[in-house]
Structure 1
Amino acid sequence: MKTPDVLCIGAMLWDVIGRAPRRMAPGADVPGRIRHLPGGVALNVAVALARWGLQPAVLSAVGRDPEGEALIAEAARRGVITDWLTRDSGHPTDCYMGIEDSEGLIAAIADAHSLEQAGAAILTPLDALPGWTGPVVLDGNLTEELLAFIARDPRLAQADLRIVPASPGKAERLEPLIAARRGCFYLNRLEAEILAGRACRDAIQAAEAVVARGAARVLVTDGPHPAADAMAGAPTLTHQPPAVTVARVTGAGDCFLAAHLAAERQHQPRDAALRQAVEASAAHVSGKDVP
């Protein structure tokens, strides 16, 4: 097996994304485009990290069905190490379905049952990496029980945890990691408000509110508004995204995380890392792949 630079633990699945070029009302039936793409937070981040020149491995559950074989082949083609996957012939490969319009995401359904049923089995490859001190990306598609287990797992006691909730509906799953006072959290404003337990006027207030709850470091995005990087005992930083025309929204947060982590792996200062993340996310939303 290849030795990775980064471990990405979480969802690896197929994205089915339907996008309409205009605003949609509830119940609308409009023409548009439907794409079938490799996805899942863990895989999205891994693919983006590979574009930044890193060697990421995904720890996830993928079925032994044709969809799983095709997904693994495509991930490997994009530079992701797939030797660490858990394969189960009894469960199908997971899938995500999203609907977007010109304003952004309308609705989505994530079917990650195979990942949830695999549970701690996806962590078995960690036995070959005792004392891992590198970055570990965790996504909120993991169950709250598994996230709590990871927070206590001695194999990851010295790891640099990078945590993303996957969606506002799964933000509360991150509570065990906040309680453990571990990791760097990547949230959008709504996710941060859920974890903070209150409404916030902007990304700055939202990031600081989650830090006040016990998180060591929190980065919050807020669409076209300034993003923020808050951490205990240090000043909060902000950066304004460039104005872009929205071509897609799914995966923007994953692109943000990957660009930020890549910058910090290059020992860039906090402000430069935040700027790179914001600009990479904006480029993704405009339809470009960065770098």
Structure 2
Amino acid sequence: MTKPDILCIGSVLWDIIGRSTLHMRAGSDVPGHITRLPGGVAMNIAMTLVNFGLTPALLSAVGRDPEGDELVGEADRMGLITEHLYRSEDLPTDAYMAIEGANGLTAAIADAHSLERAGTKILRALEDGPLGSAIAPWDGLVALDGNLTRDLLSNISASPLFARSDLRVAPASPGKADRLLALVGHPSATLYVNLEEAGLLCQTAFDTAPDGARALIARGVHRVLVTDGGNLAAECEGAVLRTAQPPEVLVTRVTGAGDTFMAAHIASEVQGMDAQSALTRALNAAATYVSGGTPS
């Protein structure tokens, strides 16, 4: 068995994305292109990590339906470790649908019900299996996504299975940001959020990423990185605050940008970059992604 560099736990599904070069609003009916690609927060992070030379393993729920078989085949082809996936006989493979215009994301629906219903079954390889156990827990990096239920995130926060893990956590969307409250106070959790999500976690609104980062640390978060689109980004741990400015680029897509930022930051730290350089590289990778390129 190949030992993974990091575990990516969360949504692994199909992204169905409709994109138009025109500005859109509610009710718009415009020409564009529709694509179907492997997606989900955990999957997006894993795919980007592969581009940076790491070997991730996926822990998620994928149906034993044709969509699931095709999705696992795509993941295998990309070099992701899929042998620890929970393959359900009765749960369908999840999906995400989004509409994007020239003015950004217009609307999206995430159907991650199979992941939510699978619950702790996705963690079987960590309980008494090839990736660890309660007496010999996984002692490496773990990327968690907010598509996991609040109860499961709470269990992970207190579980001996993750007592030695370096947890990296991202909300699936602003609508699920409050699920991350379960990990506030965890001694190793690093949160990756945007400015809106930082405000939701603190039940207020912030003008800048540094303001949001400081507030989350005051709330009890171990370490946090806050992005704000093309504006100044911030990282905070204890009393140490770092900032960096993303490069200006032409935005051609937005779905998956935050996952790319998180994966690039993790990879940069694994490869020995100092904190400021890792933050800058992650912002550059996200900018490359939203402009239509492939960061590596």
Q: TM-score, normalised by structure 2?
A: 0.96
Alignment of 1:1-291 (within 5 A): 1-126=1-126, 127=128, 128=130, 129=132, 130-234=136-240, 236-291=241-296
Q: Report the AA paired with residue 220 of structure 1.
A: V
Cα deviation, residue 104, structure 1: 1.1
Distance 1:248 1:76 in 2: 25
* TM-score (normalizing by structure 1): 0.98
- Give the distance between the partners of 2:140 and 2:204, measured in 1 at CA: 33
Specify every segment of 5 or more residues in structure 2 that has no aligned partner in the other structure, as ranges: none
What amino acid sits opposite 2:276 in the alignment?
D
Aligned counterparts of 1:210 and 1:77: Cα–Cα separation in 2: 39
One-letter amino acid of the counterpart of residue 266, structure 1: Q
Number of residue-to-residue matches in the alignment:
290
Deviation at 1:181, TM superposition (A): 4.4
RMSD (Å) for aligned C-alpha atoms: 0.9
Identity of aligned residues (%): 53
Please state how far the C-alpha of 1:233 moved relative to its aligned partner: 2.9
| Distance in 2 separating the partners of 1:255 and 1:41 | 9
Aligned residue type for 1:267: G
Query: Which letter does structure 2 place at the counterpart of 1:158?
Result: R
Structure 1 CA distance for aligned equivalents of residues 248 and 181 of structure 2 = 34
**Matches of 1:159 and 1:171 in 2, distance apart?**
22
CA contact (8 A) 2:10 2:148 kept: yes
Residue 124 of structure 1 and its aligned partner are, at CA, apart by 0.4
Cα deviation per residue 1:237-274 (whole Å; 9 max; x = unaligned)? 11111111111100000100110000110121110000
Tell me how far apart the structure 2 counterparts of residues 250 and 151 of structure 1 sit (CA, whole Å).
27
